[in-house]
A and B are shown apart, each in its own frame.
Chain A
Amino acid sequence: MIGLRLTLAGRDRSEPDWYPACRQRPNAFAFAFLILIGSVCLVSANPVTIGSKKFTESYVLGEIARRALNDAGVAAEHRQGMGGTIILWQALQGGQIDAYPEYTGTITQEILKNGQQLSFQEIRDALAKLGVGMTEPLGFNNTYALVMRRSQAQRLGIRSIGDLRNHPEIKIGLTHEFLDREDGWRPLRERYGLPQQSVIGIDHALGYAALANGSIDVKDAYSTDAKIEQNDLVVLEDNLQFFPKYEAVFLFRSATSPDAINALHRLEGTLDETRMTHLNMEAERTKNYTSAANLYFQDDGKSASFAGESFPHKLARWTLRHLELAGFSLLLSVIIGIPLGIVASRGGLIGQAILGFASVVQTVPALALLALLVPIPFFGISVRTAIAALFLYGLLPIVRNTASGLQDIPRSLRESAIALGLSPFTRLWEIYLPMASRSILSGIKTSAVINVGTATLAALIGAGGLGEPILSGLNLNDHVTILEGAIPAALLALLVQWFFDLLDRVLIPKGLRI
Chain B
Amino acid sequence: MAMSALVKLIDVNKHYADATALQAINLSVELGKTTVLIGPSGCGKSTLLRLIIGLIQPDSGSVEFNGEPVTFETIGKLRRRIGYVIQEGGLFPHLTARANVLLMARHIGKSEDDMQNRLAELCELTRFSGGLLSRYPVELSGGQRQRVGLMRALMLSPELLLLDEPLGALDPLVRAALQKDLKEIFTRLQQTVLFVTHDLAEAAYFGDEIVLMNEGRVVQQGSVVDLRENPVDSFVSEFINAQRGVTLT
Since A412-B87, A416-B92 are in contact, a sample of 14 more A-B pairs with Cβ atoms closer than 8 Å, ordered by chain A residue number, is A10-B55, A12-B57, A13-B55, A412-B90, A413-B90, A415-B50, A415-B55, A415-B90, A419-B79, A421-B80, A421-B107, A430-B103, A434-B94, A511-B94
Taking CB atoms, residues of chain B closer than 8 Å to A439 are none
B50 in contact with A431 (CB, 8 Å): no
Interface residues of B (CB under 8 A from A): 50, 53-57, 72, 75-77, 79-80, 82, 84, 86-88, 90-96, 103-104, 107, 136-139, 152
CA distance A437 to B92 in the complex (A): 13
CA distance A435 to B136 in the complex (A): 13
Shortest distance from the beta carbon of A421 to any chain B beta carbon, whole Å: 4
Contact of A511 with B136 at beta-carbon distance under 8 Å, contacts A415-B50, A417-B92, A421-B76 already known: yes
Taking CB atoms, residues of chain B closer than 8 Å to A509 are 94-95
CA distance A431 to B54 in the complex (A): 19
Shortest distance from the beta carbon of A135 to any chain B beta carbon, whole Å: 67
B84 in contact with A419 (CB, 8 Å): yes
Contact of A14 with B92 at beta-carbon distance under 8 Å, contacts A416-B86, A426-B107 already known: no
Say if the beta carbon of A15 comes within 8 Å of chain B: yes
Say if the beta carbon of A43 comes within 8 Å of chain B: no
A12 in contact with B79 (CB, 8 Å): no
Q: Mark A422-443, 1 if CB is under 8 A from B, else 0.
A: 1100100011001101000000
B93 in contact with A435 (CB, 8 Å): yes
Shortest distance from the beta carbon of B239 to any chain A beta carbon, whole Å: 26
Shortest distance from the beta carbon of B83 to any chain A beta carbon, whole Å: 9
Q: Contact partner of A419 among B55, B87, B94, CB < 8 A?
A: B55
B72 in contact with A420 (CB, 8 Å): no
Among A413, A416, A430, A512, find the residue whose CB has the most chain B CB atoms closer than 10 A: A416
A512 in contact with B79 (CB, 8 Å): no
Shortest distance from the beta carbon of A436 to any chain B beta carbon, whole Å: 10
Say if the beta carbon of A510 comes within 8 Å of chain B: yes
A420 in contact with B94 (CB, 8 Å): no
Residue of chain B at shortest CB distance from A434: B94
Say if the beta carbon of A210 comes within 8 Å of chain B: no
Say if the beta carbon of A418 comes within 8 Å of chain B: yes
CA distance A416 to B95 in the complex (A): 14
CA distance A13 to B53 in the complex (A): 11
CA distance A412 to B94 in the complex (A): 15
Say if the beta carbon of A22 comes within 8 Å of chain B: no
Q: Contact partner of B104 among A10, A413, A421, A434, CB < 8 A?
A: A421
Taking CB atoms, residues of chain B closer than 8 Å to A423 are 107
Residue of chain B at shortest CB distance from A411: B55
CA distance A466 to B75 in the complex (A): 58
Question: How many of A's residues come within 8 Å of B, CB to CB?
Answer: 27
Shortest distance from the beta carbon of B164 to any chain A beta carbon, whole Å: 9
B57 in contact with A512 (CB, 8 Å): no
Taking CB atoms, residues of chain A closer than 8 Å to B107 are 421-423, 426
A419 in contact with B53 (CB, 8 Å): yes
B137 in contact with A511 (CB, 8 Å): yes
Say if the beta carbon of A349 comes within 8 Å of chain B: no
Shortest distance from the beta carbon of A427 to any chain B beta carbon, whole Å: 10
Among B55, B79, B103, B104, find the residue whose CB has the most chain A CB atoms closer than 10 A: B55
B90 in contact with A416 (CB, 8 Å): yes
A14 in contact with B72 (CB, 8 Å): yes
Say if the beta carbon of A514 comes within 8 Å of chain B: yes
Taking CB atoms, residues of chain A closer than 8 Å to B137 are 511
Q: List 20 A-B contacts (CB under 8 A).
A: A14-B57, A15-B72, A413-B90, A415-B50, A415-B55, A416-B84, A416-B92, A417-B92, A419-B54, A422-B104, A423-B107, A435-B93, A435-B94, A509-B95, A510-B94, A511-B92, A511-B136, A512-B93, A512-B94, A514-B139
Shortest distance from the beta carbon of A199 to any chain B beta carbon, whole Å: 63
CA distance A70 to B143 in the complex (A): 78
Q: Contact partner of B138 among A10, A416, A434, A511, CB < 8 A?
A: A511
Among B53, B75, B94, B152, find the residue whose CB has the most chain A CB atoms closer than 10 A: B94
Taking CB atoms, residues of chain A closer than 8 Å to B138 are 511, 514
A420 in contact with B55 (CB, 8 Å): no
Residue of chain A at shortest CB distance from B137: A511
A422 in contact with B103 (CB, 8 Å): yes
Taking CB atoms, residues of chain B closer than 8 Å to A426 are 107
Q: Contact partner of A421 among B56, B79, B90, CB < 8 A?
A: B79
Q: Contact partner of B136 among A15, A413, A437, A510, CB < 8 A?
A: A510
Which residues in window 372-428 of A have CB below 8 A to B? 412-413, 415-423, 426
Among A13, A419, A434, A509, find the residue whose CB has the most chain B CB atoms closer than 10 A: A419
Shortest distance from the beta carbon of A433 to any chain B beta carbon, whole Å: 10
Shortest distance from the beta carbon of B122 to any chain A beta carbon, whole Å: 15
Residue of chain B at shortest CB distance from A430: B103
Shortest distance from the beta carbon of B14 to any chain A beta carbon, whole Å: 9
CA distance A13 to B92 in the complex (A): 19
A412 in contact with B86 (CB, 8 Å): yes
Q: Mark A3-47, 1 if CB is under 8 A from B, else 0.
A: 000000010111100000000000000000000000000000000
CA distance A417 to B86 in the complex (A): 12
Residue of chain B at shortest CB distance from A431: B92
Residue of chain A at shortest CB distance from B77: A421
CA distance A15 to B77 in the complex (A): 14
Shortest distance from the beta carbon of A406 to any chain B beta carbon, whole Å: 14
Contact of A413 with B92 at beta-carbon distance under 8 Å, contacts A419-B84, A510-B136 already known: yes
CA distance A511 to B136 in the complex (A): 5
Shortest distance from the beta carbon of A29 to any chain B beta carbon, whole Å: 13
Taking CB atoms, residues of chain B closer than 8 Å to A12 are 55-57
Taking CB atoms, residues of chain B closer than 8 Å to A430 are 103
Taking CB atoms, residues of chain A closer than 8 Å to B86 are 412, 415-416
CA distance A416 to B89 in the complex (A): 9
Shortest distance from the beta carbon of A44 to any chain B beta carbon, whole Å: 41
Taking CB atoms, residues of chain B closer than 8 Å to A415 are 50, 55, 86, 90
Shortest distance from the beta carbon of B70 to any chain A beta carbon, whole Å: 12
Shortest distance from the beta carbon of A425 to any chain B beta carbon, whole Å: 11
